[in-house]
């Protein structure tokens, strides 16, 4: 210890003597370069960048999150894990990842987008590389369609140029004007580059209630037949989903060639939630509010909620959506 201490001291004295021998300008430059390097390091540490420090996919974290936090969605869990992991672990994807999430209200579509974002971006949904567009909020007036189109295209291009690993979430996709959906089509396709920009690392997620009623019908058929909910597989939902999407002329999908051209990689169905899932959501919500989860309180709240069909009372009309505010009333 003593020896190395004195060696260090000798070194410091020697260096300062050497530095002293140089003219002051170059000393300042050397010191300045050190400070700049340190500054850069600090900057990368504090401010989000498009690099591995801030964007780093962890597939087991996504799996753990989906298993532990998403209730009653075994089909969606499986599809999303496979889709996102496959894409993120592929060094050379041929096109961006395009997911379309469908289902009844309050079943976890926004929630899952948040979990996906958190598994990729350290800042999750508040990352500067995650962009959420809501049809009715961002593009409300049909008369402005042309300017929305140009703006949206510029945003996508600008953001992917800044960071190829950008995520775009389009909420209320069924309320989005068909022309606007058409305008983003080129970015979802198999092009190597468009005007020198490659979109192949980007992720697009579409959320909608389109097909929700058909999914409910499949789940209800299983329930009526006395079959287990967990027996429902993707194949049972796929036809109902695609047919409904095509047949519903009010949903933007119908007018576009998103489906025709196979630009959507995965259609992800979200099942309607049952009483027990509402209870699970309630318990999780109490925990999130910093309370000790109390079965009696949650049970009381769940029993007061609205279920359908009227006679059978199988599925929660609002899913888990209103639970956070409802709970306050029962606590
Ligand atoms: N399957 C689920 N598991 C756990 N929590 C859920 C689930 N579904 C909904 N939640 C809870 O309810 C809240 C609202 O759900 P979310 O916003 O994801 O619904 P949604 O499917 O997007 O509905 P909408 O179609 O009305 O937009 C979530 O933030 C989450 O806390
Ligand atoms: C990925 O997530 C798992 C589960 O949360 C965690 O144990 C592991 O340390 C993470 N790995 C990396 C490289 O961050
Ligand atoms: C990126 O997208 C956001 C909207 O989420 C937009 O406000 C911003 O201008 C875009 N950036 C570029 C460089 O286009
Ligand atoms: Mg939603």
Q: What's the pLDDT score for residue 41? A: 80
Q: What's the pLDDT score for residue 16? A: 44
Confidence of residue 243 (pLDDT cuts 50, 70, 90): low
Q: Which helix (H) or strand (E) holds 103?
A: strand 97-103
Q: What's the pLDDT score for residue 14? A: 41
- Pocket flag, ligand 1, residue 101 (CB < 6 Å): no
Residue 186 burial (10 A CB sphere; 0-12, 13-18, 19+): middle
> Ligand 1, from 103, 279, 282, 320: best to mutate by most atoms within 8 Å of Cβ?
320
pTM of the entire predicted model: 0.88
- Pocket flag, ligand 3, residue 159 (CB < 6 Å): yes
95-118 residue pLDDT tens: 999 999 999 999 999 999 999 999
Confidence of residue 256 (pLDDT cuts 50, 70, 90): low
Judged against a pLDDT cut of 70, whether residue 7 lies above it is answered with no
Judged against a pLDDT cut of 80, whether residue 260 lies above it is answered with no
Q: Which runs of consecutive H residues, i.e. helices, occur in the chain?
A: 2-21, 24-46, 59-69, 74-88, 109-120, 135-138, 145-162, 178-188, 212-224, 234-247, 275-288, 295-303, 323-330
Q: What's the pLDDT score for residue 210? A: 87
Q: Residue 124 annotated as binding?
A: no
As a whole number of angstroms, the distance between CA 230 and CA 27 comes to 71
* Atom 18 (ligand 1) nearest CA: 108
208-223 residue pLDDT tens: 998 899 999 999 999 9
- Pocket flag, ligand 1, residue 148 (CB < 6 Å): no
Give the pLDDT mean for 29-43.
76
User: Which range scores top for mean pLDDT: 26-40, 110-124, 200-214, 239-253?
Assistant: 110-124
Judged against a pLDDT cut of 50, whether residue 8 lies above it is answered with no
Q: What's the pLDDT score for residue 9? A: 40
- Cα of 265 to ligand 1 centre, how many Å? 23
């Amino acid at each position: 210890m003593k020896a190395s201490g004195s060696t260090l001291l000798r070194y410091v004295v020697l260096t300062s003597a050497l530095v002293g021998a140089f003219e002051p300008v170059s000393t300042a430059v050397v010191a300045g370069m050190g400070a700049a390097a340190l500054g850069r390091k600090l900057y990368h540490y504090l401010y989000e960048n498009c690099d591995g420090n801030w964007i780093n996919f962890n597939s087991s974290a996504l799996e753990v999150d989906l298993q532990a936090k998403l209730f009653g969605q075994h089909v969606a869990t499986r599809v999303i894990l496979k889709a996102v992991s496959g894409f993120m672990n592929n060094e050379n994807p041929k096109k961006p990842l395009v997911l379309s999430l469908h289902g009844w209200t309050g079943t976890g579509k926004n929630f899952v987008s948040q979990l996906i974002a958190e598994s990729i971006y350290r800042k999750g949904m508040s990352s500067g590389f995650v962009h959420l567009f809501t049809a009715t909020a961002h593009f409300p007036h049909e008369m402005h369609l042309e300017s929305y189109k140009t703006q949206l295209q510029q945003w996508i291009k600008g953001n992917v140029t800044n960071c190829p690993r950008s995520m775009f979430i389009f909420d209320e996709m069924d309320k989005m004007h068909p022309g606007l959906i058409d305008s983003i089509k080129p970015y979802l396709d198999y092009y190597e580059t468009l005007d020198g920009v490659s979109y192949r690392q980007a992720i697009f997620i579409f959320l909608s209630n389109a097909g929700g009623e058909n999914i409910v019908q499949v789940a209800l058929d299983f329930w009526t037949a006395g079959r287990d909910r967990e027996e429902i597989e993707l194949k049972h939902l796929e036809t109902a989903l695609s047919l409904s999407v095509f047949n519903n002329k009010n949903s933007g999908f119908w007018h576009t060639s998103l489906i025709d051209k196979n630009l959507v990689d995965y259609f992800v169905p979200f099942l309607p939630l049952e009483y027990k899932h509402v209870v699970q959501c309630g318990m999780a919500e109490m925990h999130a509010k910093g309370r000790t989860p109390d079965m009696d309180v949650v049970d009381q709240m769940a029993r007061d909620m609205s279920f359908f069909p009227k006679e059978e009372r199988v599925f929660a009309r609002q899913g888990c959506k209103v639970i956070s505010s409802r709970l306050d009333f029962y606590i």
